[in-house]
Each structure stands twice: as C-alpha cells, then as structure tokens.
Amino acid sequence: MHIQEWLETVPAVSVYLLVGVVIGLESLGIPLPGEIVLVSAAILAATQDHINPFVLGACASVGAIVGDSIGYLIGRKGGQPLLQWAGRKFPKHFGPDHVAMAESKFDKWGMWAVFFGRFIALLRIFAGPLAGVLKMPYWKFLIANVLGGIIWAGGTTALIYTVGMVAEPWLKRFSTWGLVAAALFGIGSFLLMKVRAKKAAAAREAEETRVAATVD
C-alpha cells in the first residue's frame, strides 16, 4: 500500500489524541518529541481532508496547558528533591547543567519563562515542574501557561498547515519526504538543545572560576 493511501486510513481521532497526549506528557516533564508529533500531524492535516486543523490545534493547546498545570502541581509538591531524582533518572535532560540553564531563564524572565519556554525545546520540559519547585504564584503561572500553550500550539499548527497547503501537490507526490523533513526538524531541535546546554555549562564553569579567583 502506498504511504498516501495508508495515511488516509488513519482515524482523525487517533491523531488528535496522540498529539494531545504526547504534548501533555512532554509539558508535564517527560522528555518526549512533542514538537515533532505536532509538526507531523499538521503536515498530515494539510494533505488529508479528514483531519481538521482547528481541532488539531485545540487538542495540542489543551494538552500543553493541562500538562504544564500537572507538572506545576508535581513540582510544587516534590520540590528540589524531585529535580534531583529526575536528574538521576534522566541525566541527558535533567542534568545539573540543564537545570542550571532553566533556572537562569526563570531568574531573568520570571513568569514569562513559562510563556517563552513553550517555544524552546529544553524549557518546554522544565517550565511547569520548575515553576512549581520555585513556588511561582499559580495565577501568574496560569496566565503565562494558557497564553504560551495557545500561541505555541495554535501558531505552530497554523504555520505548518498553511505551508503544507501551499506545498500540498508536492507533499502528496512525495509524502515520504514530508515525513523525513519533519524528522530532520526534530533532530535539529534536539541538536540545538544540546548546543545550548553545553553553552550554559561553559558559562557556569567560567562564572565559578571567576568567583573562585576573586575569593583567592
């Protein structure tokens, strides 16, 4: 069966649920490829008439908002020990350097770290739990969470869907390449996250060295 014919058999509700659940779990603090899933689903909506982009964007937004809220509650209850446990279980995502970079963003941006964090791969995992650990007032968190979730999820869906509609003839002819492009986009996001984490670690080491030299 051609991939295009197979995609036409995928139930729309399965796509909506997959997007909402994966983004929700990622926002909760579990390192999953939420952005890759959303981009892939938006491309699918552009090439398949049975998938509604408005419903897709709404499911993604709800997943982002609910997941972040649950992550906030878990972080507020678990506190710093939760981050230490996550660092032991997922050192590639919650290691000391990653946590330090996320905390520096919160110190700089305050509640808007939750909003802007939605658009940054690393902070998207940290935002909810870290806001809870740092005891950010819930009303501030909620405002930034709702705005960020809707703009990120809805905006990403609209952008990719629009581009997909323009390129629909190409995507239908080379649908496999469309999925490959989505995968490459996800890999690029992961590599960018790694580069930012390394820069944060280097900056932290330089600051520690400077402080130590000052004390001596």
Those residues whose C-beta lies under 8 Å from the C-beta of residue 26, and which sit 6 or more positions away, are 32, 33, 34, 67, 124, 125
Least confident of 7-11, 65-69, 113-117, 174-178: 174-178
DSSP for 16-46, written as a single string = HHHHHHHHHHHHHT----HHHHHHHHHHHHH
DSSP for 48-62, written as a single string = -TTS-HHHHHHHHHH
In order of 66, 83, 209, 215, the CA distances from 148 in angstroms are 12, 23, 36, 42
Q: How confident is the model at residue 2 (pLDDT cuts 50, 70, 90)?
A: very low
pLDDT tens, position by position, 164-214: 776 555 545 544 555 555 556 555 655 665 666 566 656 666 666 665 666
**Most confident among 135-139, 148-152, 159-163, 174-178 (mean pLDDT):** 148-152
**Other Cβ atoms closer than 10 A to 199:** 12
pLDDT of residue 129: 82
3-class DSSP assignment, residue 95: coil
Looking at every residue in the chain, the average pLDDT score rounds to 75
Residue 6 backbone zone (phi > 0: left; psi -120 to 50: alpha; other: beta): alpha
Share of the chain above pLDDT 90, in %: 19
pLDDT tens, position by position, 97-115: 666 666 677 777 778 888 8
Those residues whose C-beta lies under 8 Å from the C-beta of residue 194, and which sit 6 or more positions away, are none
Say whether pTM exceeds 0.85.
no
Contact in structure between 149 and 69 (CB atoms under 8 Å) = no
Q: How many helices (H) and strands (E) does the chain have?
A: 11, 0
Those residues whose C-beta lies under 8 Å from the C-beta of residue 183, and which sit 6 or more positions away, are 36
3-class DSSP assignment, residue 135: coil
Alpha carbons within 13 A on the beta-carbon side of 51:
30
H-run or E-run covering 112: helix 112-117
**Other Cβ atoms closer than 10 A to 5:** 9
